[in-house]
Amino acid sequence: MLEDIVRCPYCVQGSEFRPMLRGSSNKWYVCISCGHSAAPDDPYPKCPCARCQEMARIRRRGPEDSNQQGIDRPRL
């Protein structure tokens, strides 16, 4: 039986996203490069890696704060 390869959404190896290693519980996969963790059965896990934490921080900050950081937003 073929298993699907779980890949890190942040790291690239060659021309593809880096495959993640299966953890000891067989539910979680971990990227050896950045530490991102994923569970295919849980689409919204709380990953403790730095990149996911930064994405969560940006998401909490909201779009109205992006102009304060010097990011130009198009005017409608």
pLDDT tens-digit readout, 8-25: 999 999 999 999 999 877
pLDDT, residue 5, reads 87
Sign of CA dihedral 8, 41, 43, 1: positive
**Predicted confidence band of residue 40 (pLDDT cuts 50, 70, 90):** confident
CA gap 54, 37 in Å, rounded: 15
**Alpha-carbon gap, residue 16 to 28, rounded angstroms:** 20
More confidently predicted of 45 and 32? 32
pTM of the model: 0.67
